[in-house]
Amino acid sequence: MTRCAGREAPNRAHVLHWYGVEHPGRDHPVKINLRIAALAAALSLYGAATAGAQQEEHKPGGLNKVAHDISKTSKKAGRDTKAEIKRDASKTHNALTDAGNDTKAGLKKATGIKAPQSHQPGGLNKVARDISHASKKAGSEAKGDLKTVKGGAHATTTEAGKSVKDTVLKGKP
């Protein structure tokens, strides 16, 4: 006999037993057929159960459906408003940038002042930097005020929605 990793190779009859071939003198075909039938039945039930579960799609109904629809509508309105504000802000930024660059170029031509070659801006570049810093600070403050108002509106809307939901749920029998 050949050896496999320190053990004897399995007997040919033993290997055939694992593949369902019956041994002479032993009566197993009924047990094997019963096991195969039971396995097939279990697999078919499992397949039917998973196929049925995949076909069902849960959709909200009742009060949850109303809340879902309101939330979806308000989110869409918020996204549209945000996109519109972003477009307007972008147009304003581009217009201000162009105006600043044109003004700076005009002043350079009129005065003949060139930018210094050091790492610190001076001359017209320093003036432009100071103006830019002031406008950025004003824009940041305006954005902060807008976010404060937006957060307050969100909190108020959330509280009102929860209140309505609690009222409706308490009214149910």
Per-residue confidence (pLDDT) for residue 127, from 0 to 100? 75
* pLDDT, tens only, 37-68: 777 777 777 776 666 555 556 666 777 888 88
Q: What is the mean pLDDT of residues 17-35?
A: 57
Per-residue confidence (pLDDT) for residue 120, from 0 to 100? 62
pLDDT exceeds 90 at position 98: yes
Q: What is the mean pLDDT of residues 71-77?
A: 89
Per-residue confidence (pLDDT) for residue 121, from 0 to 100? 61
Least confident among 15-29, 76-90, 132-146: 15-29
Q: What is the mean pLDDT of residues 85-95?
A: 91
pTM exceeds 0.85 for this model: no
pLDDT exceeds 60 at position 3: no
pLDDT exceeds 50 at position 25: yes
What is d(CA 73, CA 82) in angstroms, rounded to the nearest whole number? 14
Q: What is the mean pLDDT of residues 70-90?
A: 90
Q: Which residues contact 60 (CB under 8 A, 6 or more apart)?
A: 67, 68
* pLDDT, tens only, 115-170: 666 666 666 677 778 888 898 999 899 899 989 988 998 999 899 888 888 888 88
